[in-house]
């Protein structure tokens, strides 16, 4: 792929403050029917992609290999609230009438565990070899990602990618990838992408964007837009017709309904500064009473990028540098000589929340949160970052006592 990669060519990030103009209108969209979706999966497979998309597994909608549209979660819906996730099946025909699952596309570009390099020791010499990313020959096509997830990949570009650390493993996985975003019709009880400006409409950061329309009298169909050269190339292989006024009106109505059914709202006005001046707020002690310091929120977050490395060797002289996800809820995360800097759960929760919503701006000129709601749903005790931010805003300037420690 290389030169024709959509990511390098256009520097698309999709982050809320991105300089690339977001195109959310559907002026030149193509209308595909269900056969068009079938063809899309076939075209992607023919072009050599490993096609991933939403599937039902173990009571959730997660990414898995798709062999045909029959694998898609047709008729499945999700119900999410703090600390709770359920799916249920109805007989409706929609493929994408759910919000987001537990796993984000982060896993595809930044695996939970991977080998950064290998080495072999023989006769006192070490021969180095590439790690896992180099041996992954087939690029990934992810079908059914959400606008907030495209935005999250844009945030990761600024952290690990070509606008950040330039991590070669991340770049390899990211540059080859093809992203089919499906706009959101049914946000969950923990979604707040509307507050973060990352959804429910797809702005940029995709190769193809689809809007699934059904039940408006126009038949079950998809409005399709290309967001990259390669996306346009794929779209030109699909059977479709130009969108008309009725199609566009149906999409506008769908997005409006989605906007008004967000389960959560986050007031972002002056939020980075609000948190920066409230690091001693008593709310952090209160949330620490409930917080398990389990780290689930950081691992499900589509933008959290912390990792740790460990060198290993075996009896046969094979060396490995292993990299795995890590979390600021671990004591080891802030361990300097003599002990951890963030010993209390209070200071660890504060690190997480202020990094996502405040200091991320200083570091990467964007929000670290795209409003996907995962940290709220998958927190075992339902701690809600939007509620914590609102509580601090309500009592801006309050100061914690001396309890709680560092």
The 307-346 contact track toward other proteins, x by CB under 8 A, reads ---x---xx--------xx-x-xxxx------------x-
Among 5-13, 106-114, 177-185, 278-286, the segment contacting other proteins (CB under 8 A): 106-114
342 binds, among ligand SF4, other proteins, none (CB under 5 to 8 A by kind): none
CB 287 within 8 A of CB 376: no
**DSSP state letter for 89:** E
377 binds, among ligand SF4, other proteins, none (CB under 5 to 8 A by kind): other proteins
The 126-145 contact track toward ligand SF4, x by CB under 6 A, reads --------------------
**DSSP state letter for 142:** E
Helices vs strands, H then E, count in the chain = 16, 16
The β-bridge partners of 145 are 181
Bond preceding residue 358 cis, omega within 30 of 0? no
332 binds, among other proteins, ligand SF4, none (CB under 5 to 8 A by kind): other proteins
Residue 81 phi/psi, 5° resolution?
-150, 170
**DSSP state letter for 358:** I
Q: Does 378 bind other proteins (CB under 8 A)?
A: yes
Dihedral angle of Cα 184, 228, 41, 225, to the nearest 10 degrees = 50
State the minimum distance, in angstroms, from the CB of residue 51 to ligand SF4. 25
Among 52-60, 115-123, 289-297, 397-405, the segment contacting ligand SF4 (CB under 6 A): 289-297
End-to-end CA distance of the chain: 50
289 binds, among ligand SF4, other proteins, none (CB under 5 to 8 A by kind): other proteins
CB 274 within 8 A of CB 393: yes
Q: Does 379 bind ligand SF4 (CB under 6 A)?
A: yes
Figure out which of the listed residues 137, 242, 289, 336 binds other proteins, where binding follows CB under 8 A.
289
Q: CB within 8 A of 197, min separation 6: which ones?
A: 16
Question: Which residues, numbered 109-138, are part of the site for other proteins (CB under 8 A)?
Answer: 112-113
Q: CB within 8 A of 181, min separation 6: which ones?
A: 145, 146, 147, 149, 150, 202, 205, 206, 208, 209, 210
Figure out which of the listed residues 7, 356, 364, 389 binds ligand SF4, where binding follows CB under 6 A.
356
Q: Does 297 bind ligand SF4 (CB under 6 A)?
A: yes
Q: Does 293 bind ligand SF4 (CB under 6 A)?
A: yes
The percent of the chain in helix, strand and coil, each rounded to the nearest 5, is 35, 20, 45
- The C-alpha atoms of residue 321 and residue 113 are separated, in whole angstroms, by 11
Figure out which of the listed residues 102, 164, 218, 404 binds other proteins, where binding follows CB under 8 A.
102
Figure out which of the listed residues 94, 328, 346, 389 binds ligand SF4, where binding follows CB under 6 A.
328
Interacting residues with ligand SF4 (CB under 6 A): 291-298, 300-306, 327-329, 351-352, 355-356, 369-375, 379-381, 383, 385
């Amino acid at each position: 792929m290389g030169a024709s990669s959509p990511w390098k060519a256009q520097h698309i990030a999709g982050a809320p403050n991105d300089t690339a103009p977001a195109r959310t209108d559907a002026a030149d969209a193509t209308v595909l029917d269900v056969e068009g979706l079938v063809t899309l999966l076939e075209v992607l497979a023919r072009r050599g992609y490993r096609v991933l998309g939403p599937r039902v597994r173990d009571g959730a909608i997660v990414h898995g290999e798709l062999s045909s549209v029959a694998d898609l979660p047709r008729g499945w819906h999700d119900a999410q609230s703090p600390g709770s996730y359920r799916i249920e099946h109805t007989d409706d025909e929609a493929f994408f009438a759910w919000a987001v699952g537990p796993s984000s596309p982060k896993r595809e570009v930044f695996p939970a565990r991977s080998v950064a390099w290998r080495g072999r020791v023989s006769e006192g010499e070490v021969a180095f070899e590439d790690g896992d990313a180099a041996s992954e020959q087939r690029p990934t096509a992810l079908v059914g990602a959400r606008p907030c997830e495209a935005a999250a990949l844009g945030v990761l570009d600024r952290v690990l990618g070509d606008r950040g650390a330039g991590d070669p493993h991340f770049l390899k996985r990211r540059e080859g990838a093809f992203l089919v975003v499906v706009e959101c019709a049914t946000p969950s009880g923990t979604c707040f992408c509307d507050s973060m400006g990352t959804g429910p409409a797809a702005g940029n950061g995709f190769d193809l964007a689809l809007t699934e329309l059904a039940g408006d009298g126009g038949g079950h169909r998809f409005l399709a837009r290309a967001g990259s050269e390669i996306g346009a190339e794929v779209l030109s292989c699909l059977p479709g017709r130009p969108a008309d006024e009725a199609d566009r009106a149906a999409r506008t109505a769908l997005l409006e309904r989605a906007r008004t059914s967000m389960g959560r709202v986050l007031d972002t006005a002056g939020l980075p500064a609000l948190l920066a001046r409230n690091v001693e707020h008593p709310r952090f002690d209160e949330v620490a009473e409930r917080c398990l310091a389990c780290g689930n929120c950081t691992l499900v977050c589509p933008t959290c990028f912390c990792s740790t490395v460990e060198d290993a060797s075996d009896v046969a002289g094979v060396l490995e540098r292993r990299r795995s996800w890590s979390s600021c809820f671990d004591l080891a995360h802030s361990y300097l000589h003599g002990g951890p800097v963030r010993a209390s759960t209070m200071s660890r929760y504060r690190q997480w929340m202020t990094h996502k919503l405040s200091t991320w701006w200083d570091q990467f000129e964007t929000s670290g949160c795209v409003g996907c709601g995962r940290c709220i749903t998958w927190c075992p005790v339902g701690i809600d970052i939007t509620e914590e931010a609102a509580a601090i805003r309500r009592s801006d300037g309050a100061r914690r006592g001396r309890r709680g420690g560092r």
